């Protein structure tokens, strides 16, 4: 294990963060991930998207590490950490909350600290304002921890794919993710409301600092995809 401060960014200034939203089934997401690799961008996955083994990625961040997780699942996850060193990024405590238990994983992964704001609409912006040892910017859902990782790596442009703000075409997760976890409409809806409400405030906070976001999943309040022509490397939002 290494603390997150031992992970240093390189010359890359942009990243693609991939979530588990159902819009991925309507995107050539594996191809897009590799395109970002070839265009010198980080690719960051969240939660269990690493189990979609055909997606290229640099890091996968997950803040659910202990509470209510099956032992079989944790063992499978531990095996992947041993096999794919320095790919996984995990919190010191489950959901950054010491009351929920200490992350027990072993091997080559990066560990970070953050305030216990999971399952809320709060975001912890202090690490953006000034450097706090081994601490990432975090928020109520995993998207914010992933953004915190990107900021730690020095990214200024964030592309978000698979963050749909709710159901898309009748599903909460894309098909591969539904093979891992059953869909829970109420759970996803709660997460989506927290994410979208907090994210709008975060955008306003980061814009004066030169941080921008582009969605290539689903537009706020709509089921329309926002990507245009991925073959020509055009991921601008469709108005």
Q: CATH number of the domain that 39 lies in?
A: 3.90.1480
pLDDT beyond 60 at 197: yes
Tens digit of each residue's pLDDT (9 = 90 or more) over 89-131 = 999 999 899 999 999 999 999 999 998 888 777 888 889 989 9
The answer to whether residue 238 is domain-embedded is no
The answer to whether residue 1 is domain-embedded is no
As given in the structure block, the two tokens for residue 28 are 């050539």
The answer to whether residue 180 is domain-embedded is yes
The model's confidence at residue 178, banded by pLDDT at 50, 70 and 90, is: very high
**pLDDT average, residue stretch 41-51:** 96
- Of 171 and 112, the structure prediction assigns the larger pLDDT to 112
- Among 124, 128, 88, 130, which residue's Cα sits nearest to residue 105? 88
- Among 191, 197, 162, which residue's Cα sits nearest to residue 63? 191
Q: Give the structural domain span for 109.
A: 6-232
Q: How many domains does the chain have?
A: 1
pLDDT score, position 221 = 46
pTM beyond 0.75: yes
| Rg of the chain on CA atoms, in Å | 17
- For residues 20-32, one letter each, b for 16 or more C-beta atoms within 10 angstroms of the residue's C-beta and e for the rest, the string is bbbbbbebebeeb
The answer to whether residue 237 is domain-embedded is no
pLDDT score, position 228 = 39
**CA separation for the pair 62, 60 (Å, rounded):** 7
> Most distant CA pair in the chain: distance in Å?
48
Q: Are 105 and 78 in contact (CB under 8 A)?
A: yes
CA angle at 136 for the pair 135 and 139, rounded to the nearest 5°: 130
């Amino acid at each position: 294990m290494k603390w997150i401060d031992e992970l240093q960014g390189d010359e890359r200034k942009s990243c693609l963060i991939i979530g588990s939203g159902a819009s991925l089934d309507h995107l050539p997401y594996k191809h897009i991930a590799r395109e970002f690799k070839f265009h010198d961008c980080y690719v960051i996955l969240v939660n269990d998207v690493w189990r979609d083994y055909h997606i290229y990625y640099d890091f996968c961040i997950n803040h659910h590490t202990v509470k209510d997780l099956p032992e079989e699942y944790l063992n499978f996850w531990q095996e992947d950490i041993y096999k794919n060193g320095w790919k996984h990024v995990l919190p010191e405590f489950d959901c950054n909350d010491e009351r929920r238990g200490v992350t027990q994983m072993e091997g080559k992964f990066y560990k970070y600290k953050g305030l216990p704001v999971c399952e809320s609409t709060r975001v912890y912006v202090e690490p953006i304002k000034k450097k706090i040892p081994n601490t990432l910017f975090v928020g109520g859902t995993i998207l914010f921890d992933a953004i915190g990782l990107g900021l730690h790596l020095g990214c200024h442009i964030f592309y978000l794919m698979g963050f749909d703000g709710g159901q898309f075409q009748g599903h909460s997760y894309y098909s591969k993710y539904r093979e891992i976890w059953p869909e829970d409409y109420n759970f996803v809806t709660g997460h989506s409301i927290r994410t979208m409400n907090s994210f709008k405030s975060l955008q306003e906070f980061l814009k004066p600092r030169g941080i921008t976001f582009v969605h290539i999943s689903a537009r706020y309040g709509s089921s329309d995809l926002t990507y245009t022509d991925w073959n020509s490397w055009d991921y601008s939002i469709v108005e």
